[in-house]
């Protein structure tokens, strides 16, 4: 399924009901959705979940970025509140858990909880980190006792920060709740649309790093800042103090919003992921790679959304898009040759014998 794109901002705003209905016709065992998306937008989840449940298909949410949802009236509901059958969520994004601390929540109407338990037992480490587990408990207790108050402060900090930075510029430079339908955007998310200032996000990231500030993600058109309940009002002020002069220095004519390849790529399958993974492979020069089947997963990171996966064809669109992303200075992850001078592909002999 592919997300709808908001034409004003060029960003994905969730999966439409018609996309889901098409997918359900293929009788899937489950529907997996990433909600919220990396830029803070959400599908109309109650509608999608109701539709999937009408066909007795469970809905599993990758809600890595939604751990704080449901703890404040201004935030979207938690995935479990809107009827998801399983929700996997990090507690180290807007919430202050340790890295690698994450939760799987599930209900048993359409999923077999014993099977989940068996799968967990088969795959989890035999030496879990007590510190990470304790941090999950700590965050859960914190959210139960002071969650609403802490998120309230976070939302105020984010709103004040945006207001202050925005007051120096006339085009709208942040994604705002008012840009989207009700409950379809996380108001704690800080997304700066540097294209509105004609600036390059990757260059701005370098300037910020020199001032001791690291960002969650930067590409040519956007910067995503990571705002958490552990950030003080002073740290937001410090960010605004450093950011405003840098933005002013780099400002030029606004660029039209472009849809990043990450949100718009539609893969062409060359062989199955499994066949590609176990096939014999070879390295080919970028100029000879068009039409070959990738053996690598390749993703600009962050956000780490694959542009190509093993078994998918390296089309001209994929190759040109990756070249452009790398030229803008974004790190290319997982590729055998991250410079993209060469690509690891399924060897022709291997494809013929399949």
Ligand X SMILES: Cc1ncc(COP(=O)(O)O)c(C=O)c1O
Binding site for ligand X (CB under 6 A): 34, 38, 62, 64, 90, 102
The residue written with tokens 């700066």 in the block is: 192
Min dist. Cβ of residue 215 to ligand X (A): 14
Min dist. Cβ of residue 34 to ligand X (A): 5
For ligand X, the closer of residues 90 and 196 by Cβ is 90
For ligand X, the closer of residues 62 and 205 by Cβ is 62
For ligand X, the closer of residues 101 and 165 by Cβ is 101
For ligand X, the closer of residues 64 and 351 by Cβ is 64
Closest listed residue to residue 134, CA positions, set 101, 92, 94? 101
Distance CA(85)–CA(57), nearest Å, equals 9
Min dist. Cβ of residue 72 to ligand X (A): 21
Give 317's contacts (C-beta < 8 A, 6+ positions apart): 261, 265
Distance CA(81)–CA(288), nearest Å, equals 50
Min dist. Cβ of residue 37 to ligand X (A): 8
Min dist. Cβ of residue 32 to ligand X (A): 11
Min dist. Cβ of residue 234 to ligand X (A): 26
Helix (H) or strand (E) holding 265, with range, is none
For ligand X, the closer of residues 95 and 319 by Cβ is 95
Min dist. Cβ of residue 102 to ligand X (A): 4
Closest listed residue to residue 193, CA positions, set 175, 176, 208, 181? 175
The residue written with tokens 């979207």 in the block is: 76
Give 302's contacts (C-beta < 8 A, 6+ positions apart): 38, 216, 217, 224
Distance CA(346)–CA(89), nearest Å, equals 35
For ligand X, the closer of residues 64 and 328 by Cβ is 64
Per-residue tokens: 99: 């890295």
For ligand X, the closer of residues 135 and 157 by Cβ is 135
Closest listed residue to residue 348, CA positions, set 295, 274, 287? 295
User: What Cα–Cα distance (Å) separates residue 333 from each residue in 32, 291, 311, 325?
Assistant: 23, 21, 17, 12
Min dist. Cβ of residue 39 to ligand X (A): 11
For ligand X, the closer of residues 34 and 135 by Cβ is 34
Strands 342-346 and 86-90: unpaired
Min dist. Cβ of residue 304 to ligand X (A): 7
- 94 close to 154: Cβ distance less than 8 angstroms: yes
Torsion 17-23-29-33 (CA) sign: negative
Q: Tally Cβ neighbours within 10 Å of residue 33.
A: 24
For ligand X, the closer of residues 71 and 343 by Cβ is 71
């Amino acid at each position: 399924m592919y997300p709808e794109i908001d034409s004003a901002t060029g960003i994905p705003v969730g999966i439409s009901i018609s996309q889901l209905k098409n997918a359900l016709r293929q009788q899937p065992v489950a529907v997996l959705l990433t909600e919220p998306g990396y830029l803070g937008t959400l599908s109309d989840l109650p509608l999608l979940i109701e539709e999937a449940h009408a066909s007795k298909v469970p809905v599993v949410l990758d809600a890595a970025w939604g751990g704080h949802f449901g703890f404040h009236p201004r935030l979207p509901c938690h995935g479990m509140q809107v009827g998801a059958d399983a929700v996997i969520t990090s507690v180290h994004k807007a919430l202050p858990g340790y890295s690698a601390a994450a939760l799987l929540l599930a209900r048993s109407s359409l999923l077999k909880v014993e099977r989940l338990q068996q799968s967990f037992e088969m795959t989890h480490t035999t030496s879990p980190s007590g510190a990470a587990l304790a941090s999950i408990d700590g965050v859960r207790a914190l959210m139960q006792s002071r969650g609403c108050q802490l998120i309230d402060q976070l939302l105020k900090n984010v709103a004040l920060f945006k207001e202050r930075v925005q007051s120096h510029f006339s085009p709208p430079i942040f994604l705002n709740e008012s840009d989207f339908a009700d409950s379809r955007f996380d108001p704690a998310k800080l997304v700066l649309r540097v294209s509105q200032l004609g600036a390059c996000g990757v260059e701005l990231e370098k300037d910020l790093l020199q001032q001791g500030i690291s960002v969650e993600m930067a590409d040519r058109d956007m910067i995503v800042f990571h705002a958490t309940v552990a950030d003080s009002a002073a740290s937001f002020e410090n960010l605004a103090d450093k950011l405003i002069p840098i933005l002013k220095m780099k400002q030029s004519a606004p660029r039209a919003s472009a849809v990043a390849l990450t949100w718009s790529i539609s893969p062409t399958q060359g062989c199955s992921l499994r066949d590609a993974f176990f096939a014999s492979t070879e390295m080919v020069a970028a100029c000879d790679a068009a039409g070959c089947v990738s053996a690598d997963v390749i993703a600009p990171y962050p956000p780490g959304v694959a542009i190509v996966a093993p078994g998918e064809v390296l089309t001209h669109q994929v190759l040109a898009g990756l070249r452009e992303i790398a030229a803008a200075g974004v790190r290319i992850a997982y590729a055998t040759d991250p410079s993209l001078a060469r690509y690891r592909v399924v060897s022709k002999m291997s494809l013929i014998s399949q």
